[in-house]
Amino acid sequence: MKKIGIMTTGGDCSGLNAVIANIVRAAQIRGWRVVGITDGTDGLTTHTPSVVDLDIINMPPTISRTSGSILGNGHAGIMNFETATRSGQLRAFNNNLKTAIRKLKLDVIILVGGNGSLSLAWTNRDIYSDVQLICIPKTIDMDIPCTSRTIGFDTAVQQLVSYCDQLILTARSHHRWFVVQSMGRDCGQLALNAGVAAGVHAILIPEIKFDMNALIAHIKHAPTDYGIIIVAEGIRIRGHSGQPAEIISRKLTAAGIPNRTAFPGHIQRAGDTTAADRILAIQMADATIRAIENNETYVMTAYENDQCRTITLADFYAAGRTVDDPNISGLKTSNAYVTPDNPLLHVVENMGIYIGERRK
């Protein structure tokens, strides 16, 4: 009988519980035991590894709709890769993780994480040399290379669109513009997709430079005197520091355009899991189960061409643009961004939405 450990790491999002529930469901059919490692690597660094047995009773199908992770994603202040690196204890920390995995006598570890967690898993891969390691990509940022979809992204888009749907009503009532700042870090996928769905007037993303005067002119010549401008949190405005939405708001005010800022914040990482994310979760769970049966290791599930398959972590890491991690010195993470050939960019331009000074 195989013994499988599963953990969720990094930021939370909707769809995590759907992945866990479907892994448990498929494992039980095969007579495998599944244990949940609580709070990611935190559960492996306690004196006695912190795990909970998972079965169809405590992980029923109904849990798939809930956001967050039933296992938790980590505690502030507990030793992790970031604090271990900063204190010069990374080697000892890695050894503790490897010892804990041996103590649990696991055959497989399933790591559900974002691009930072997956990059860490690959660059510190010796930790998992005694087990099969299978990673499942989750992030509302959709900044993971080699997969066209990630767990949590669709729900985050829906949350942001619902937020804008409410704002536009008060915008219309007061003849006012709202500058909405989305999450997404240095990737504009969340802002771009939500902006298109919400029918906003301008979308500003890190991948495309914009001109403030051109933005102001676009808003002044809009057919309405109200609307929404979505600003990705990762954009940089030369000569300014602070929240980009606030900087842009001040510029609009100076130009005589009535406006307010709005920060949906962490509701983008919450909300009932959409059907699309639930379907993706079960597809990625299925690909994970097949990888276990095929004795694959150091792999990641990836969604392409309407199906899930596995790719090597080496391919994932090599495919993205590697940048220095802002929190872990010496670590480079593999990132994906909105590319110039993204079909939505053409749609945005054709619909008269300002997207910046895009090269033709």
Displacement of CA 174 from its chain's centroid (Å): 34
The DSSP code for 103 is: H
CB of 21 within 8 A of CB of 64?
yes
Annotated catalytic residue, options 12, 39, 42, 141: 141
Q: Catalytic site residue 141?
A: yes
CA–CA separation, 238 and 243 (whole Å)? 13
Displacement of CA 260 from its chain's centroid (Å): 27
Displacement of CA 172 from its chain's centroid (Å): 32
The DSSP code for 126 is: G
Helices 275-293, 16-29: axis angle to 10 degrees equals 40
CA–CA separation, 34 and 23 (whole Å)? 8
CA distances from 334 to 40, 48, 83, 315 (A): 20, 32, 21, 10
Displacement of CA 97 from its chain's centroid (Å): 24
Displacement of CA 162 from its chain's centroid (Å): 19
CB of 280 within 8 A of CB of 244?
no
Give catalytic residues, as residue numbers: 141
